Amino acid sequence: MRLRIINPNTTVAMTHKIGEAARRIAAPGTTIVATQPADGPVSIEGHFDEAISAVGVMEEVLNGEKDATDAYVIACFGDPGLLAARELTRAPVIGIAEAAFHMASLISTRFSVVTTLSRTGIIAEHLLEQYGFRHHCRRVRAAEIPVLDLEEDGSSALARIIEECHRARDEDGIGAIVLGCGGMADLTETISREVGLPVIEGVTAAVKLAEALVGLGLGTSKHGDLAFPRPKAFIGRFEGYSNLTRER
């Protein structure tokens, strides 16, 4: 099985960390290809960043279609471009927020999300509503750290995340914690040990869901709104997308 993990931002160190987390959890026989767009924001911390990064996600899916990819993971907690990416392929495409919410709901009736910034926490709340998990989530909390602080040795990012996870455990009446950033992919064991609750992060959750879907022989439906995009002309900087999504 060939699984393409797409970090929608352009920070290579984060892509490497995400890829390593995916490889540690992947089943024998699963090949992990971790990649990021050539152009776009260095981190994703709002709607504008997500909109720009979604174009890079599409490009990475199209690259994967040339490379016999069996499934894709979009490794940003805003799941940027998720439905558009599903239009481009028959392979499963999984967003890490969607995956983490599913996994958390399977092991606990209530969970809280701990993310980086309050503004991205609002985006997580939108996704909880969209995916049907708002009833399961008690609270979305922010450690108020920039995403790229997670890549800096010696920063206080981990301590602040653990502190917020302790508050979630003690105040929210929950059974599990969801980490709300792809840059936290390597932190689950440390935080779970410190907090004493199951901790779920979306990269590893999405890897296991992708493996399950491929193993079941299930791919993205091409009936209805996730059918391949209708072929048409694009102009300007997007001219290269003209008629490239015809049935294949």
Number of domains in the chain: 2
Mean pLDDT computed over 208-220: 98
Q: What average pLDDT does range 145-163 have in this prediction? A: 88
Residues 181 and 217 in one domain: no
What is the mean pLDDT of the segment spanning 103-125?
Answer: 97
d(CA 74, CA 197): 26
What is the pLDDT at residue 95?
A: 98
| Confidence at residue 81, expressed as pLDDT on a 0 to 100 scale | 97
Q: Is residue 246 part of a domain?
A: no
Report the alpha-carbon distance of residue 187 to residue 164 in Å, rounded: 14
Which residue type is seen at 71?
A
Share of the chain above pLDDT 90, in %: 92
User: In terms of domains, do 91 and 214 share one?
Assistant: yes
pLDDT-derived band at 244, boundaries 50, 70, 90:
confident
At residue 246, does pLDDT exceed 60? no
Is a pLDDT exceeding 90 seen at residue 201? yes
- Averaged pLDDT for residues 137-162: 90
State the average pLDDT for the chain.
95
Amino acid residing at 5: I
* CA–CA dist 33, 5 (Å, integer): 6
Tokens of 126: 């939108």
- Residue 154 belongs to domain spanning: 97-202
Identify which has the larger pLDDT, 150 or 85.
Answer: 85
CATH number of domain containing 152: 3.40.50.12500
Residue 209 CA to residue 137 CA, distance in Å, equals 20
Per-residue model confidence (pLDDT) at position 151: 85
Domain assignment of residue 248, yes or no: no
What's the mean pLDDT in 94-118?
97
Residue 197 lies in a domain: yes
pLDDT confidence of 245, banded at 50, 70, 90?
low
Q: Residues 14-20: what's their mean pLDDT?
A: 96
Q: How confident is the model at residue 248 (pLDDT cuts 50, 70, 90)?
A: very low
Query: Tokens 């508050």, residue?
Result: 167
